[in-house]
């Protein structure tokens, strides 16, 4: 006997807790935000490189003012480039496995899992290892029952084995779906972490760009 299908009312059709949508849906939104940020930064950089130097050509007199204006422009563009460089990191594809849940960058996710393991693992244990073992167990149980069914001459026992196979396959599918959902959640969490780091770098780059812009303006408006 393989045992009855485990009751898991908190699972949606895709195996996610409480039928929540796939965490991968949020990855597309986060990367769209990163693309928008890159576009805005590129527009600012184009304005600095295109319009500002041309409009200030007649206001620069002497090597000192020219050097200061050039230095300010370089600093501003370096800040914009720095911000774009790090924001682009959030768009790079990353490979995520369930082992990533044990990494320091996913400490926040682990805290949530430990606070309510049933919400993440359902009736399949209290850890990723338990969930993986349950998935393998029910897959193996279904396979063994199928072998027994092929050699079972008794009709009643055959029907029992058919039901047992269906239950084992349902449990294996449910556990596998939860594993996939956890993997997607870990991946989305890592992308979010990338985007958060990129925002800090973007802020730092904006500060540097603002400093460069101030130096450029000061050099082009200094009294002669």
| DSSP output for 55-118 | HTGGG--HHHHHHHHHHHHHHHHHHHHHHHHHHHHTTS-----GGGGGSGGGHHHHHHHHH-HH
Mean pLDDT within 136-150: 92
> Which SS3 state, helix, strand or coil, does residue 11 take?
strand
pLDDT band at 42 (very low <50, low <70, confident <90, very high): confident
Q: Dump pLDDT digits (tens) for 26-40.
A: 777 777 777 787 777
Give residue 80's pLDDT. Answer: 82
Between 62-89 and 24-55, two packed helices, what is the crossing angle to 10 degrees? 170
Q: Identify which has the larger pLDDT, 117 or 12.
A: 117
Phi, then psi, of 125 in degrees rounded to 5: 115, -160
User: 38 CB contacts (<8 Å, ≥6 apart)?
Assistant: 84, 87, 88, 91
Q: What is the mean pLDDT of residues 109-119?
A: 90
How many Cα atoms within 13 Å fall on the side-chain side of residue 94?
A: 22
To which residue do tokens 């009643």 refer? 156
Decide if pLDDT at 9 tops 60. no
Mean of per-residue pLDDT scores for the chain: 80
0.85 exceeded by the pTM? no
Q: How many CA atoms lie within 13 A of 165 on its CB side?
A: 14
Looking at residue 50, its pLDDT comes to 62
CB of 209 closer than 8 Å to CB of 79: yes
Between 132 and 45, residue with greater pLDDT: 132
Distance CA 181, CA 23 (A): 7
Q: What is the pLDDT of residue 19?
A: 59
């Amino acid at each position: 006997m393989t045992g009855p299908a485990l009751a898991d009312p908190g699972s949606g059709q895709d195996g996610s807790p409480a039928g929540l949508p796939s965490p991968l849906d949020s990855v597309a939104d986060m990367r769209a935000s990163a693309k928008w940020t890159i576009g805005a930064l590129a527009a600012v950089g184009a304005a600095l490189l295109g319009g500002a130097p041309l409009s200030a050509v007649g206001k620069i007199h002497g090597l000192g003012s020219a050097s200061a204006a050039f230095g300010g422009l370089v600093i501003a563009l370096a800040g914009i480039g720095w911000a774009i460089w790090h924001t682009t990191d959030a768009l790079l594809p990353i490979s995520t496995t369930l082992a990533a849940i044990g990494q320091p960058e996913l400490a926040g996710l682990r805290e949530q899992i430990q606070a309510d393991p049933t919400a993440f693992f359902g009736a399949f244990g209290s850890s990723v290892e338990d969930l993986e073992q349950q998935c393998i167990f029910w897959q193996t149980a279904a396979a063994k029952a199928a072998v027994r069914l092929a050699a079972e001459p008794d009709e009643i026992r055959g029907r029992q084995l058919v039901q047992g196979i269906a239950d084992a396959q349902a449990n294996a599918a449910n556990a596998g779906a939860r594993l996939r959902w956890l993997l997607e959640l870990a991946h989305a969490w890592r992308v979010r972490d990338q985007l958060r780091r990129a925002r800090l770098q973007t802020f730092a780059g904006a500060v540097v760009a603002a400093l460069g812009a101030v130096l450029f303006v000061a050099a082009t408006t200094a009294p002669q």
